A and B are shown apart, each in its own frame.
Chain A
Amino acid sequence: MNWFIDTISTSIGKKLLMAVTGLGFCMFLLIHMIGNLTLYGGKDLFMAYVEHLHALSPLILAAEIGLVFFACVHVATGLILFLENRRARPVGYAVKKNAGGRTFGSATMPYTGFIILCFLILHLINFRFIEQTPDAIFQAVSGTLSDVSFKIIYIAAVFVVALHVRHGFWSLFQTLGANHLKYMPMIQAIGIAFALLALAGFGLIPIVIGFIA
């Protein structure tokens, strides 16, 4: 195990942790979104989905523990990287311009990440740490999201997630060493598509929820 600690404490090692956990999140995000799409099918479909999930509860518990663990790793490593990177340039530039590589998404990763973390906590308080019956959950979702300020918070958060993923998706492939002249444009495109999909998939929920309920 010593070697593993040694490996992940290197610069690339930490990046690998970010990439693997980030990939895990992306996959979770996708599944979560597919599940949530049931909302667009109306209350019944959504309730059936929740019921279904509960039937799988041991698996879900395992997945939840995994996600919490991943979250801890992703957040802690992200924080370490952020601090290390700041320390690597003690004196900054008076004038610094982008040369064309940086995007808004890439430049804001630590900040969007932090916002996502705050949102996640709120999100869990809203929908996870409540009574876990399908009915209660549906009430919570439709109730919370009918509040205008929550609507705005949720839509904004989805924007932030999309931004994070827009850079994060291709970046994780680069970190894992998968950058090839032939395939990278495709990965980049998928990343953007994925971000937009997440934006649409999650972002429309607070808007359409009123009609569904």
Chain B
Amino acid sequence: MSAKRINLTLKVWRQSAGEIIGSLKTYSASDISTDMSFLEMLDVVNENLIKNGEDPIAFDHDCREGICGMCGSVVNGRAHGHESNTTLCQLHMRHFSDGDTIVIEPWRAKPFKVIKDLVVDRSALDELIQAGGFISVNAGGAPDANAIPIARETAEAAFNAAACIGCGACIAACPNASAMLFVGAKVSHLSLLPQGKPEAKKRARQMVRKMKELGFGNCSNEAECEAECPKGISIREIARLNREFIKAEFS
């Protein structure tokens, strides 16, 4: 498909540091090739801001191929933009039209403090994993990899959950800023596999408690997370988390 050139108006959340009050500022992005990714469009805007002696827009990104989970903003009210199963770095400008106005805001949730502009602190996600998102095995002690056969369907189901990239879009999109999809994905991944079963109870108990401690909201089964997750993680993983939690608490 041949590239077109479009002009856009951006309204971007600008906040020079965590403790300073921010606001939406308007910029124009002109002569944008529709072959660019959303982040490349921001690169172009930033290059111009620098040339004009202005402060470029800070945004997180790294792999730019949809796997590291570093990028992410709410674009026109949608986490990672309006294309489904897509991270912001994989959203391309051909999905916008000439003359569009695009509002870009950071992930919003109590545990996600703004660091600068669109950059937020997501260390709470690491803390959630620290609360139990692992299998306690030291290097050196493992049996042969084929010692325990695992049904292909089980491995596939575990993979579906393990595909989470930890971007936080589920939390940003959730009306309650709940982290249930993220935690559900990890608990499901590990509790489905025989290797993860011994610690299943402890994991579910601790991770669920950690969510509250960190200030995430509660799930009200609105499924906005599932609709925005770039990796298509299903709310069935949340149901599985609920199940694991019930098993852990009531037995």
Direct A–B touching, Cβ under 8 Å: yes
Nearest CB on B from A96, distance (A)? 5
Q: Classify chain B: how many residues form its interface, as a range.
A: 35 or more
For B219, the chain A residues whose CB sits under 8 A away are: 11-12, 15
B-contact 0/1 string along A169-198, CB 8 Å cutoff: 011001111111100100000000000000
Asked, given contacts A87-B110, A101-B222, A101-B224, whether A95 binds B208 with beta carbons under 8 Å apart, the answer is: no
Q: Which of A16, A89, A179 contacts B235 (CB 8 A)?
A: A179
B235/A94 in contact, CB under 8 A:
no
Contacts of B208 in A (CB 8 A): 10-12
Docked-complex contact A93 and B105, CB < 8 angstroms = yes
Chain B 79-123 near chain A by CB (<8 Å), digits 1 or 0: 100100000000000000000000101001110000000000000
Contact of A107 among B105, B177, B222 (CB under 8 A): B222
Kindly state the separation between the CA atoms of A103 and B209 in the bound complex, as whole angstroms.
28
Q: Is the CB of A181 within 8 A of B76?
A: no
Q: Please tell me if the beta carbons of B110 and A90 are within 8 angstroms of each other in the complex.
A: yes
Interface residues of A in 100-150 (CB under 8 A from B): 100-103, 106-107, 109
Asked if B192 lies at the interface with its beta carbon under 8 angstroms from chain A, I say no
Of the candidates A84, A92, A102, A177, the one whose C-beta lies within 8 Å of that of B217 is: A84
Residues of chain A lying within 8 A (CB to CB) of residue B52? none
B215 CB–A CB distance under 8 Å: yes
CB pair B177 A88 closer than 8 Å = yes
**Could you tell me if A85 and B243 are in contact, using CB atoms closer than 8 angstroms?**
no
Determine the residue in chain A with the shortest Cβ distance to B237.
Answer: A179
| A-B Cβ contacts below 8 A, count | 135
Residues of chain B contacted by A167 (CB below 8 angstroms) = 221
Q: Is B39 part of the contact surface with A, judged by Cβ < 8 Å?
A: no
| Size band of the interface chain A makes with B | 35 or more
Q: Return the contact of A85 from the options B11, B218, B242 (Cβ within 8 A).
A: B218
By the criterion CB–CB under 8 Å, are B108 and A180 in contact?
A: no
Nearest-neighbor residue (CB-CB) of A95 within chain B? B77
With A99-B228, A174-B242: A88-B216 Cβ-Cβ less than 8 Å: yes
Residues of B near any A CB (own CB < 8 A):
11, 13, 24, 74, 76-79, 82, 103, 105, 108-110, 173, 175-178, 180, 208-209, 211-212, 215-228, 235-236, 238-246, 249-250
Please list the residues of chain A having a beta carbon within 8 angstroms of any beta carbon in chain B: 3, 7, 10-16, 81, 84-85, 87-103, 106-107, 109, 167, 170-171, 174-181, 184
Apart from A11-B178, A99-B224, list 5 A-B contacts with CB within 8 A. A10-B209, A99-B79, A99-B227, A178-B239, A180-B236
